[in-house]
């Protein structure tokens, strides 16, 4: 609403101004009414307005030329301005005046100017083009049409031989004019350069490979759980088209958030689904029988030896009655082989009232300690990834084996019991004794003795 204090002339002026800029604020060209995404601090900045509507091109060109003029005058560092399809600028009087100013003052501000146009006549007929020709250091003339060749000959003072050369020149051939020196030139592009710069439609169509073999789809749409870093961009888009979505989560080992491509089950939050799938992925390293349930049972149920273990993942949204019923069901089916996993540490105390409760980052250590790493040699076959014949997997998970009561030694091919922490704290020479035994083992190898005889720890008489 306009102020009542404004005069009639001011109101008409305001209305006229509003009518002119309305299309750029809320009309069809409202995309201009926002911050630019271009980074003007880059060493190379490109403005491409070829695909814009004709009605908005003059406005965009005005903004671009105004920025170029301001950038040119900002400092005297070396700069270069390249204008392709210059004929479109020289046809309009307003843009032509900008170009004229830039041509006249560019040397003062250490700016190089390169204009590219298809017809020399565009330069001859405009004042900015004539100024450019008079101030240009060099000119490259390619093949010209017979209809404008006379103007070109008069403008650049060409000989008859040069005139015939321009009329019959092939692709990349022409005349290079530097000061008063005229030289024939032929530009030969490398295959890679030609592939990028060619505008020949037939060549572009011929360059497209005809697909005769189709790769098999390796994505399992029913999996529901993928790390984005393990996928290509095409695979991510394919999953998104099949009901997946991208969300960020923290894994079982903590650290920073990572992007995952997930497809949650019905009435399930992304966080709950991610934690369930992450725990399932970890358990499958050590157990084959892993099952997921939605409502009728615990979220995760797996078998370890003779035990069937249940894990219930909670986000803290369930009511007290639902939690009590779930606890009764778990105790009835699994006895003591079950526990809660909460997605937020604030809920740990709440669920600890009903049963054992852990955070997601505590799950790997609990599972290893209770189910996947036993202390007797008879149970070593349960260690699925650490079979005696699989040395590669042994190396990958050696940091996990160190937390167990027995460590698989690659040099002695047997399990060596670790001494208790209580005993180690009392015996000050424990570490020295272990180091000495390793040295004895190396010496035994030199004397063709069995390393098993030297690596076995002797019983402590003091014990």
Give tens-digit pLDDT for 147-201: 888 888 888 888 999 999 989 988 889 999 987 889 999 988 888 888 888 888 8
Q: What is residue 111's DSSP assignment? A: E
**Mean pLDDT throughout 316-342?**
90
Question: What are the φ and ψ backbone dihedral angles of 338, each rounded to 5 degrees?
Answer: -160, 160
Residue 279 confidence (pLDDT) above 90: yes
Percent of the chain with pLDDT over 90: 18
pLDDT reported for residue 380 = 43
pLDDT reported for residue 210 = 66
| Spatial distance between the Cα atoms of 240 and 237, rounded to a whole number of angstroms | 5
Q: When comparing pLDDT for 326 and 453, which is higher?
A: 326
- Joined tokens for residue 403: 């937390």
**Mean pLDDT throughout 226-239?**
90
pLDDT reported for residue 283 = 92
Q: Which long-range contacts (CB under 8 A, 24 or more apart) does 165-173 make?
A: 166/141, 166/142, 167/143, 168/143, 169/142, 169/143, 170/143, 172/142, 173/142, 173/143
pLDDT reported for residue 195 = 83
pLDDT reported for residue 400 = 41
**Mean pLDDT throughout 60-77?**
85
Q: Which CATH class is domain 31-207?
A: alpha beta
pTM of the model: 0.40
Residue 460 confidence (pLDDT) above 70: no
**Mean pLDDT throughout 354-358?**
93
Residues of the chain with CATH 3.40.50.300: 31-207
Q: What is residue 369's DSSP assignment? A: I
The pLDDT tens digits of the residues spanning 92-128 come to 666 667 778 888 888 888 888 888 887 777 777 777 7
The pLDDT tens digits of the residues spanning 206-229 come to 777 666 665 666 788 888 889 999
- Joined tokens for residue 459: 């019983």
| Spatial distance between the Cα atoms of 397 and 282, rounded to a whole number of angstroms | 12
pLDDT reported for residue 306 = 84
Residue 382, Cβ density class (10 Å: 0-12 exposed, 13-18 middle, ≥19 buried): middle
Q: How confident is the model at residue 277 (pLDDT cuts 50, 70, 90)?
A: very high
Question: What are the φ and ψ backbone dihedral angles of 397, each rounded to 5 degrees?
Answer: -115, 20
Residues of the chain with CATH 3.40.1350: 264-372
Residue 357 confidence (pLDDT) above 90: yes
Residue 407 confidence (pLDDT) above 60: no
Residue 398 confidence (pLDDT) above 80: no
Average pLDDT of the chain is: 77
Q: When comparing pLDDT for 426 and 168, which is higher?
A: 168
Q: When comparing pLDDT for 436 and 360, which is higher?
A: 360
pLDDT reported for residue 391 = 41
Q: What is residue 239's DSSP assignment? A: H
Fold of 264-372: Trna Endonuclease; Chain: A, domain 1 (3.40.1350)
pLDDT reported for residue 261 = 92
């Amino acid at each position: 609403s306009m102020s009542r204090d404004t005069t009639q002339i001011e109101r008409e002026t305001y209305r006229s101004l509003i009518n002119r800029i309305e299309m750029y604020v809320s009309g069809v060209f409202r995309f201009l009414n926002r911050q630019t995404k271009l980074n003007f601090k880059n060493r190379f900045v490109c403005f491409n307005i070829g695909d814009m509507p004709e009605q908005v091109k003059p406005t965009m060109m005005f903004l671009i030329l105004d920025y170029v003029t301001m950038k040119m005058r900002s400092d005297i560092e070396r700069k270069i301005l390249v204008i392709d399809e210059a004929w479109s600028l020289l046809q309009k009087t307003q843009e032509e005046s900008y170009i004229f100013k830039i041509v006249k003052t560019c040397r003062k501000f250490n700016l190089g100017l390169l204009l590219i146009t298809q017809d020399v006549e565009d330069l001859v007929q405009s004042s900015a083009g004539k100024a450019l020709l008079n101030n240009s250091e060099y000119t490259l003339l390619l093949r010209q049409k017979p209809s404008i060749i006379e103007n070109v000959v008069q403008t650049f003072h060409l000989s008859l031989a040069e005139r015939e050369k321009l009329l019959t020149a092939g692709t990349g051939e022409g005349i290079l004019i530097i000061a008063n020196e005229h030289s024939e030139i032929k530009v030969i592009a490398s295959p890679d350069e030609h592939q990028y710069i060619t505008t020949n439609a037939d060549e572009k169509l011929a360059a497209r490979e005809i697909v005769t073999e189709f790769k098999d789809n390796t994505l399992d749409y029913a999996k529901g759980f993928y790390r984005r870093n393990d996928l290509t961009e095409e695979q991510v888009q394919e999953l998104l088209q099949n009901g997946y979505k991208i969300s960020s989560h923290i894994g079982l080992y903590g650290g920073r958030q990572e992007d995952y491509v997930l497809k949650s089950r019905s009435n399930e939050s992304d966080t709950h689904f991610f934690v369930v799938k992450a725990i399932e992925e970890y358990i499958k390293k050590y157990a084959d029988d892993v099952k997921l349930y939605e409502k009728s049972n615990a979220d995760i149920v797996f078998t370890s030896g003779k035990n069937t273990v249940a894990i219930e993942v909670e986000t803290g949204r369930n009511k007290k009655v639902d939690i009590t019923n779930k606890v009764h069901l778990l105790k009835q089916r699994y006895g003591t082989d079950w526990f809660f996993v909460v997605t937020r540490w604030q809920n740990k105390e709440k669920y600890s009232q009903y049963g054992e409760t852990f955070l997601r980052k505590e799950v790997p250590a609990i599972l290893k300690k209770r189910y996947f790493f036993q202390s007797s040699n008879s149970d070593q076959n349960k260690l699925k990834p650490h079979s005696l014949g699989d040395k590669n997997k042994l190396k990958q998970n050696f940091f996990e084996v160190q937390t167990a009561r027995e460590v698989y030694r690659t040099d002695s091919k047997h399990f060596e019991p670790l001494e208790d922490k209580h005993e180690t704290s009392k015996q000050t020479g424990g570490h020295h004794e272990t180091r000495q035994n390793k040295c004895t083992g190396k010496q035994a190898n030199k004397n063709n003795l069995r390393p098993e005889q030297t690596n076995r720890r002797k019983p402590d008489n003091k014990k």
